[in-house]
Amino acid sequence: MITLVLGGNKSGKSDFALDLLAKSQGPALFIATGKAKDMEFREQIRQHRQSRGPDLEVIEVCEDLPQTLKKAKLSFPSVVVDSLDYWLFACREAGCESEKVQEFLAVLEDWNDTDLILVSCEAGLGPLPAGSAVRAFIRSLGALNQGAARAADQAFLIAAGLPLTLKQG
């Protein structure tokens, strides 16, 4: 089953995803896509690591998320990816966004057996950004989230720590 968890920054989406993961059976894998580029984000990553606990295996990836998912589903009955927006940004920086997004969506189309929980920002809820680069990223993230939602069996929007069911399969 694929579950998509969307929400704004600091909405509680990661906590909700971890709560879903806690209900799964067997060993689980947490795939982290964010790379700290400043002290504030380093602290956020440190706090996330502490909240996950020592029993959860963690892999950090950049643009190689599709390959990591293919390998993960062979060994883990449950996988969380947190988050697609950071992954998309890494792909954009590396100049491989289009091909990696297509590869990722193909992995989702072939997904089976393993529970997959995808976390992503729903970034289009705010005002239209003034810069063209930010607008382009928001459009790409919206398209990625829509593709993930089509493949998902269930989807949730988290606001103020509360889940709203968008899709239930």
Write the pLDDT tens digit of every residue in 69-87: 999 999 999 999 999 999 9
**Three-class DSSP labels, the chain:** CEEEEEECCCCCHHHHHHHHHHCCCCCEEEEECCCCCCHHHHHHHHHHHHHHCCCCEEEECCCCHHHHHHHHHHHCCEEEEECHHHHHHHHHHHCCHHHHHHHHHHHHHCCCCCEEEEEEECHHHCCCCCCHHHHHHHHHHHHHHHHHHHHCCEEEEEECCEEEEEECC
The closest alpha carbon to 65, from 41, 94, 26, 43, belongs to: 94
> CA-CA distance, 67 to 70, in Å (whole number)?
5
Whole-number Å distance between alpha carbons of 161 and 158: 6
Q: Looking at residues 130-144, what average pLDDT do you find?
A: 94
**What is the pLDDT, as a whole number, of residue 113?**
84
- Condensed to tens digits (0 to 9), the pLDDT of residues 37-71 reads 667 766 766 676 666 666 788 888 989 999 999 99
pLDDT score, position 49: 67
Q: Which two tokens stand for residue 146?
A: 């829509």
Domains of the chain and any CATH numbers: 2-167 (3.40.50.300)
Which tens digits make up the pLDDT trace of 11-36? 999 999 999 999 988 899 999 996 76
What pLDDT sits at residue 86? Answer: 93
- Rounded CA-CA distance 100/91 in Å is 7
Q: What is the pLDDT of residues 116-131, one digit of tens each?
A: 999 999 987 878 888 9
| Threshold 0.85, pTM exceeds | yes
* Residue 69 pLDDT: 97
pLDDT, residue 132, reads 94
Average pLDDT over the chain, rounded to an integer: 91
Cβ pair 146, 105 in contact under 8 A: no
Residue 4 pLDDT > 90:
yes
pLDDT at 55: 79
Q: What per-residue confidence (pLDDT) applies to 10? A: 87
